[in-house]
Amino acid sequence: MQLNEKTSAVEAILFASGEPVDEVRIIEAAGIEKNDLSGIIKALNDRYTDSGSAINIIHLGNKYQMCTKKEYSEYIKAAMESKKQSPLSNAAMETLTIIAYNQPVTKGFVESVRGIDSSSVVNTLAEKGLVEEYGRLDVPGHPVAYKTSDNFLRCFGLTSLDDLPPLVRENEDKQVSLFDEETDNNIIG
């Protein structure tokens, strides 16, 4: 298969999916080598930029997704006649932060950190596609564990969870990390 055909195959896979596609799945489906994928993605993005296209390919952890550029969002919203999404409440942002930094977590864990019932907030975040179920824990009651979604990464402009800023808290005019790196003990939970 020629390089141009491989590039077109990767482009077709990403276009047809509409969702983030795992690198391994792209490599296998397109019949390409792992070390060729990033070059093909770069070539596609360069082509889109050079032609003034509204399309680009973003990297989300170990997945890629074809999407529109941010500057065209208003046109898309107008065409789709979508309702303006309301901003997240303080409770939702707090809950999302707890999940992002401690995932996978249960609703019970979130409630123990926040000190208040958080079921409806977690459900709202799941409805918005910012968190998703990660399975059930093997403990009595088998509670559902939650983790952030690819949509969370996309909405916050992150490539991976490694891009999250470190957590800090104020303590008498001195910042203290909420994660003790020497002992791997999470101070907040």
How far, in Å, CA of 61 to CA of 45, rounded? 18
Residue pair 11/44 in contact by the 8 Å Cβ criterion: yes
**For residues 7-33, average pLDDT:** 94
pLDDT at 185: 41
The pLDDT of residue 69 is 93
Tell me the backbone φ, ψ of residue 92, rounded to 5 degrees. -65, -40
The Cα 70–Cα 4 span in angstroms is 27
Q: What is the mean pLDDT of the chain?
A: 85
Domains and CATH numbers, the chain: 3-77 (1.10.10.10), 90-186 (1.10.10.10)
Would you state the pLDDT for residue 76?
83
Q: Could you tell me the CA-to-CA distances from 111 to 43, 99, 106, 132 in Å, in that order? A: 46, 11, 9, 17
Residue 49 is predicted with a pLDDT of 95
- Give the pairing of strands 63-68 and 185-186: unpaired
Q: Cβ(81)–Cβ(113) under 8 Å?
A: no
Better-scored residue on pLDDT, 139 or 14:
14
pTM of the model: 0.56
Lowest mean pLDDT among 33-37, 116-120, 138-142, 149-153: 138-142
Q: What pLDDT, on a 0 to 100 scale, did the predictor assign at position 188?
A: 41
When pLDDT is cut at 50, 70 and 90, the band that residue 7 belongs to is: very high
pLDDT at 169: 64
Asked whether the predicted pLDDT for residue 59 surpasses 60, the reply is yes
* CB-CB neighbours of 105 under 10 Å: 24
Q: How far apart are CA 26 and CA 34, in angstroms?
A: 9
